[in-house]
Chains A and B, each alone.
Chain A
Amino acid sequence: MARYRLEICKGEEVRFISHLDFMKAFERALRRAKIPVAFSEGFNPHPKIAFASALPVGVTSACELVDLELQEELPAAEVKQRLEKALPPGIKVNAVNRCHDKQPALMAVINRSEYLVRVQAIPDAVIHYQLLQEAIKSFLGKDALVVEKKTKKGLRERDIRKGVYSLRGWLEGNDIMLEMVLQTGTEGNVRPEDVLSGLISLGLPLDKDFARVHRTRLFSV
C-alpha cells in the first residue's frame, strides 16, 4: 500500500456538478487511467479515496486536496501523467505527492478555505467603492452576524461571524470582487454565500444568485 496526496482543479466545465458526482467522476478517471486504487475490506468494498472538503454545486476550485491509497508503489510523476490523460474536461491535476503513511487524514486537518467571489449588484442598483468598504467594515466590526442558512432540514438561522477570518473587497468594472478566508469542515463551516447574505443584510444590494465562487486555497492553522 502506498499513499499519495493530490491537488486537483474543478473548472468551469464541471462547476455545476455536485460534490458526490465530482468524486465519482474522479474515481472513474482513476479507473480509466488504470491506476490501481486500494479497496477497503468488507462486504461492500469501496476505493480508498478521500477528499479534504466538499465543494458546493456551482463553485469552482484551483486547489482541491485528495488522498489516495494505491495497491502498489508507483512513481508520483507516473500517477500524474496517467491521470492527466484520463480526466474529463474541467478536472485537472496540479500535483501528486507521495506521502507518509502516518500523515493524518485530510478531513481532520483542513479547517480553512480562501475564496474569490465575483458578484454584481442587483439590476438597477449601483455599488460604489465607498459603499462596499463600509459594508465590509461593518461586517468585520460585528461580534455576531446571524444569517439564514439552507440546511437539509430547511432554513436555519446561524451566526457566521466567528467563521470569517478575513474579508476584502474591490471593484473590477461592473463586478464586485470579494476575497475571504472562511472556516471549513464539519464544525462551523461557513460558505461564501453566507458571507454574501451577511453583506446583503448590512445593506449591500448584491445579486447573490449569480455569484461566481472560486476556491483559491485550502489550509490548516
Chain B
Amino acid sequence: MMRDFIRNRLLPKVLKPARYLGTELNSIHKDWDRVDLKVVFAFPDVYEIGMSHLGLRILYHVVNKRPDTLMERVFAPWVDMEELLRQQNIPLFALESYKPVKEFDIVAFTLQYEMSFTNILNMLDLAGIPVRAGDRDESYPLVIAGGPCAYNPEPLADFIDAFVIGEGEEVFYEVLDVVKTAKQEKLSRTGLLERLAQVQGVYVPRFYDVDYKDDAAIAGIRPNNPNAPAKVTKRLVRNIDEADFPTSPIVPYLEVVHNRIMLEVLRGCSRGCRFCQAGMIYRPVREKSPETLLRQAEELVANTGYDEISLSSLSTADYSCVEETLKKLLDIYSGHGVNVSLPSLRADAFSIELAKEVQRVRRPTLTFAPEAGTQRLRDVINKGVTEEDLLAATGAAFKEGWTAVKLYFMIGLPTETEEDLRGIAELAGKVVALGQRELGAKAGRLKVTVSASSFVPKAHTPFQWEPQNDIDTLKEKQRFLAGLLKNRKIKFNWHDAELSFLEAVFSRGNRKVGRVLEAAWRRGCKFDSWNEQFSYDKWMAAFADVRLTPEAFACRRFGVEEVLPWDHIDAGVGKKFLAKEYEAALKGATTLDCRFDRCTGCGVCPNLGVDLDIKGREACGPV
C-alpha cells in the first residue's frame, strides 16, 4: 500500500515527518467511494504555514459537512520530501487518503502570497498535472484558486482554470454543485467552465482576451464567450454572525505558526490605510455578537484542548464589543490555564487597557504599527495615529511593566523623503528615551525592535497606481536607516528588497508575467519566500528568458486613466473612490473610518447590497 510505503520508506528520511501524517485530531477521513465529488485543498507552502490559515479551517469544514463531497489537504512538500517523491516516482498525494492529487475532481489552491506562486506550478507538476490550463482536458482535475491574491489573478491566468473572487463559504457550495452536475452529465471542460463562469464571483481567464499597448500596459480586456460577464464581482458573506464557523478544527501534532484557537471576531476593516489591500477587499466590516463568540469559544476549547484563544481579525481592538467579550472569556478560561490573546493592537491608550486585561494570564509582546516616521506621511497613507498616541501608548506600556515593544514601519511609501526616514529614527529614539525614563531600574532590559518592510503597490488600493522604489533605492534607504538606528536598545530588521520587488511585479503584473513565473519555476525557483531557497539570480535569468523587464511592472507609475490588469475584477470598492483617495493622499488629506463617522462612499455597500454590521455600539458605548 502506498501509505505504508511512504510511512516506512520515506518519512524516516525527512525533516518533520509529522507534516505528512494526515491523522491529526479532528481530521476527516471519508469513504472515498461513497462521495460524489472529491476536492483537495492545496496550500502552496509548507504544512506549518498552511495549517495556520483560517480559510482552510473554514472551507474544510464547509465541504466535509456535505454528505456528497469531501475535502482533503495537500501542502507543498519540503524540498527533502520532494526529492524522495521524484526519486521514487510517487505523485503528490493528499494527506487524508494518501490518494494522488490527480485523482481528485477539484484541486483548490489558496493564494495568500505572491511569492508562493512558483510552488503552485511545482505542486501541479509533482501531481502529474500539466501546469498550463490549456493542456488539461476532462481527465485532469479542475484547478481553481481563491484568496487575496486572486484579486489580481492575471499572473496565474494561464495556469488556473477558474478563480473564485471573494469569501469562499457560500460561493464554494455553488461551485461544488456546478462541478458535480457537470461530472454526472459528462460535460466537456469548456462546457463546465461556461457554467462556472455564470456563477457570481467566478472568473474563467480563458474566456477573456487581453489587448496590449506594450508589455506592461493594457489596451483592453474583453470577454470572448457569451457566458462570461464583463466584470466579475466578488462574493461575500452577508452575516458572519450566522455563518458556519468550524468549532472542531484539525489540531496539528506539529508546532505550526498559529497553534491555537483562532476565533474570528469580525471581518473587514474600514480604517482605510491607503496601502492596505486587506482593508479594501474585505469590506464592509461585519461583526459577530459576543454571545456567538462565547458559544464558539466553548465548543472550540472542548473540541481541541488548545491552551490559547486568539481573537482574530484585521484589527480586533476595533471590535465594538471587544472589552466585554475579552473580560468574559478571561473570567471563564483563565482559571483553566487557557490564555486569551489579541494579535493586533492599535497604538492608543485603549489598546493598553486591553493588553493589561490580557496579561492576566500571560504578557504578550506589544506591537505598534505607526508605518511612517512623520505626521505628514502618516496623513498621506491615512494611518490615523499621531506621535502623541504612540508615545502615550508605549509610555503606558512601560509603566505597566512591559520592557520590550515592536514598531512596524514601511519604507518607500509614496512621497517619502529623507525627513520621513529620519522621522522613523527619531520616533524610535523617543520611545527608547521614554522607556529609559519610565522603566527606571529595569531600563537595562529595554528593547525596542524596529521593523521596516518595503512598500508594495497592491491591486484595488488607492496606491495601486504608484511605483515601487527600485531595489537600489530601497537598499540605500535601509542602509541610511540602519545608520540612524545605531542604538544598543534598538534592534533593526528589514525585509529583503529583492523579494519585495518581485512581490510588486506579481501584485501588479498582467498575463505576460505568467511566462516569467513558468520560466523561473523551470529554472528551479520554489519556496521563494524562504531565505535559503530564494535565488534572485534565477529570477533575473527568467525575466531574460522571456524578454520582460520587471521594472515595467513594479517601478512604473500607472496612469489613472490606464486600463489596469485587474479592471475586470470588481472588489466592490469602486475605482473612482480609489482614485479620489489617491488624490487625497497626495494632498495629505485624511479620510475617516465609516464605522465611527459617516459613510465615505467606497461603494461596496450599495454595489453589493450589504451593510455594515456593527454589533455593540450602544451596548458597549462609542469607542
Binding site for B on A (CB under 8 A): 13-14, 16-18, 20-22, 24-25, 27-32, 34, 37, 39, 43-45, 47, 57-58, 86, 88-90, 209-210, 212
Q: 5 tightest A-B contacts by CB?
A: A28-B305, A16-B17, A31-B305, A32-B305, A88-B25
Determine the distance from Cα of A169 to Cα of B487 in the docked complex, in whole angstroms: 64
Q: Which residue of chain A is the closest to B25 with respect to CB atoms?
A: A88
Please determine whether B337 and A58 come into contact, CB atoms closer than 8 angstroms: no
User: Closest approach, in angstroms, between the C-beta of B8 and any C-beta of chain A?
Assistant: 6
Determine the distance from Cα of A44 to Cα of B253 in the docked complex, in whole angstroms: 23
User: Scoring B residues 14 to 56 as 1 if CB is less than 8 Å from chain A, else 0, what string do you get?
Assistant: 0001100101110000000000000000000000000000000
Please determine whether A28 and B23 come into contact, CB atoms closer than 8 angstroms: no
**Interface residue tally on B, bucketed by range:** 20 to 34
Q: Which residue of chain A is the closest to B337 with respect to CB atoms?
A: A39
User: Closest approach, in angstroms, between the C-beta of B81 and any C-beta of chain A?
Assistant: 12
Please determine whether B305 and A29 come into contact, CB atoms closer than 8 angstroms: yes
Residues of A within 8 A of B11 (CB): 16
Q: Does B221 contact A (CB under 8 A)?
A: no
Please determine whether B305 and A90 come into contact, CB atoms closer than 8 angstroms: no
Residues of B within 8 A of A17 (CB): 18, 253-254
Q: Does B251 contact A (CB under 8 A)?
A: yes
Which of A16, A22, A25, A90 has its CB near the most chain B CB atoms (within 10 A)?
A: A16
Determine the distance from Cα of A57 to Cα of B20 in the docked complex, in whole angstroms: 14
Residues of B within 8 A of A29 (CB): 305
Known pairs A13-B21, A28-B306. 13 more at Cβ < 8 A? A14-B253, A16-B11, A16-B17, A17-B253, A20-B255, A25-B25, A27-B307, A29-B305, A39-B337, A43-B363, A47-B337, A90-B23, A212-B8
Residues of A within 8 A of B587 (CB): none
Determine the distance from Cα of A93 to Cα of B336 in the docked complex, in whole angstroms: 23
Please determine whether A21 and B301 come into contact, CB atoms closer than 8 angstroms: no
Residues of A within 8 A of B253 (CB): 14, 17, 21-22, 25
Residues of B within 8 A of A14 (CB): 23, 253
Determine the distance from Cα of A87 to Cα of B18 in the docked complex, in whole angstroms: 17
Q: Does B430 contact A (CB under 8 A)?
A: no
Determine the distance from Cα of A133 to Cα of B9 in the docked complex, in whole angstroms: 27
Q: Which residue of chain A is the closest to B24 with respect to CB atoms?
A: A88
Please determine whether B12 and A209 come into contact, CB atoms closer than 8 angstroms: yes
Q: Does B451 contact A (CB under 8 A)?
A: no
Determine the distance from Cα of A57 to Cα of B7 in the docked complex, in whole angstroms: 13
User: Closest approach, in angstroms, between the C-beta of B245 and any C-beta of chain A?
Assistant: 19
Please determine whether B23 and A210 come into contact, CB atoms closer than 8 angstroms: no
Within 8 A of A (CB), among B278-317: 301-307
Please determine whether B8 and A86 come into contact, CB atoms closer than 8 angstroms: no
Residues of B within 8 A of A210 (CB): 8-9, 12
Please determine whether A21 and B12 come into contact, CB atoms closer than 8 angstroms: no
Which of A24, A27, A29, A30 has its CB near the most chain B CB atoms (within 10 A)?
A: A24
Residues of B within 8 A of A24 (CB): 255
On whether A18 and B362 interact (CB within 8 A), knowing A28-B304, A32-B302, the answer reads no
Q: Which residue of chain A is the closest to B307 with respect to CB atoms?
A: A31
Please determine whether B304 and A16 come into contact, CB atoms closer than 8 angstroms: no
User: Closest approach, in angstroms, between the C-beta of A5 and any C-beta of chain B?
Assistant: 21
User: Scoring B residues 323 to 360 as 1 if CB is less than 8 Å from chain A, else 0, what string do you get?
Assistant: 00000000000001110000000000000000000000
On whether A16 and B13 interact (CB within 8 A), knowing A28-B305, A31-B307, A86-B305, the answer reads no
Please determine whether A209 and B13 come into contact, CB atoms closer than 8 angstroms: yes
User: Closest approach, in angstroms, between the C-beta of B498 and any C-beta of chain A?
Assistant: 32
Which of B25, B254, B307 has its CB near the most chain A CB atoms (within 10 A)?
A: B25
Residues of A within 8 A of B251 (CB): 25, 28, 88
Residues of A within 8 A of B8 (CB): 210, 212
Residues of B within 8 A of A47 (CB): 337
Determine the distance from Cα of A90 to Cα of B444 in the docked complex, in whole angstroms: 48
Select which of A20, A30, A58 is within 8 A of B305 by beta carbon: A30
Can you list 6 contacts pairing A with B, beta carbon distance less than 8 Å? A17-B253, A28-B305, A30-B305, A31-B336, A32-B302, A209-B12
Residues of A within 8 A of B18 (CB): 16-18, 21
Q: Which residue of chain B is the closest to A22 with respect to CB atoms?
A: B253
Determine the distance from Cα of A22 to Cα of B25 in the docked complex, in whole angstroms: 13
User: Scoring B residues 81 to 115 as 1 if CB is less than 8 Å from chain A, else 0, what string do you get?
Assistant: 00000000000000000000000000000000000
User: Closest approach, in angstroms, between the C-beta of A40 and any C-beta of chain B?
Assistant: 10
Determine the distance from Cα of A31 to Cα of B337 in the docked complex, in whole angstroms: 9
Residues of A within 8 A of B12 (CB): 58, 209-210
Please determine whether B303 and A32 come into contact, CB atoms closer than 8 angstroms: yes
Q: Which residue of chain A is the closest to B17 with respect to CB atoms?
A: A16
Residues of B within 8 A of A88 (CB): 23-25, 251
Please determine whether A27 and B362 come into contact, CB atoms closer than 8 angstroms: no
User: Closest approach, in angstroms, between the C-beta of B448 and any C-beta of chain A?
Assistant: 22
Determine the distance from Cα of A45 to Cα of B360 in the docked complex, in whole angstroms: 11
On whether A31 and B301 interact (CB within 8 A), knowing A39-B337, A47-B337, A209-B12, the answer reads yes
User: Closest approach, in angstroms, between the C-beta of B306 and any C-beta of chain A?
Assistant: 7
Residues of A within 8 A of B23 (CB): 13-14, 88-90
Determine the distance from Cα of A34 to Cα of B338 in the docked complex, in whole angstroms: 12
Determine the distance from Cα of A14 to Cα of B24 in the docked complex, in whole angstroms: 9
Determine the distance from Cα of A45 to Cα of B362 in the docked complex, in whole angstroms: 9
Which of B8, B253, B303 has its CB near the most chain A CB atoms (within 10 A)?
A: B253
User: Closest approach, in angstroms, between the C-beta of B27 and any C-beta of chain A?
Assistant: 9
Q: Which residue of chain A is the closest to B14 with respect to CB atoms?
A: A16
Residues of B within 8 A of A20 (CB): 255
Q: Which residue of chain B is the closest to A58 with respect to CB atoms?
A: B12
On whether A16 and B21 interact (CB within 8 A), knowing A21-B253, A209-B12, the answer reads yes
Residues of B within 8 A of A39 (CB): 337
Q: Which residue of chain A is the closest to B259 with respect to CB atoms?
A: A24
Residues of B within 8 A of A212 (CB): 8
Determine the distance from Cα of A30 to Cα of B307 in the docked complex, in whole angstroms: 11
User: Scoring B residues 516 to 546 as 1 if CB is less than 8 Å from chain A, else 0, what string do you get?
Assistant: 0000000000000000000000000000000
Determine the distance from Cα of A17 to Cα of B301 in the docked complex, in whole angstroms: 22
Residues of A within 8 A of B254 (CB): 17, 21
Q: Which residue of chain B is the closest to A12 with respect to CB atoms?
A: B7
Q: Which residue of chain B is the closest to A57 with respect to CB atoms?
A: B17
Determine the distance from Cα of A27 to Cα of B253 in the docked complex, in whole angstroms: 12
User: Closest approach, in angstroms, between the C-beta of B252 and any C-beta of chain A?
Assistant: 9
Q: Which residue of chain B is the closest to A17 with respect to CB atoms?
A: B253
Residues of A within 8 A of B305 (CB): 27-32, 86
Determine the distance from Cα of A86 to Cα of B304 in the docked complex, in whole angstroms: 10
Residues of B within 8 A of A31 (CB): 301, 305-307, 336-338
Residues of B within 8 A of A86 (CB): 305
User: Closest approach, in angstroms, between the C-beta of B466 and any C-beta of chain A?
Assistant: 45
Residues of B within 8 A of A57 (CB): 17
Residues of B within 8 A of A37 (CB): 337
Determine the distance from Cα of A44 to Cα of B362 in the docked complex, in whole angstroms: 7
Determine the distance from Cα of A62 to Cα of B337 in the docked complex, in whole angstroms: 29
User: Closest approach, in angstroms, between the C-beta of B84 and any C-beta of chain A?
Assistant: 12
Q: Which residue of chain B is the closest to A39 with respect to CB atoms?
A: B337
User: Closest approach, in angstroms, between the C-beta of A184 and any C-beta of chain B?
Assistant: 22
User: Closest approach, in angstroms, between the C-beta of B362 and any C-beta of chain A?
Assistant: 6
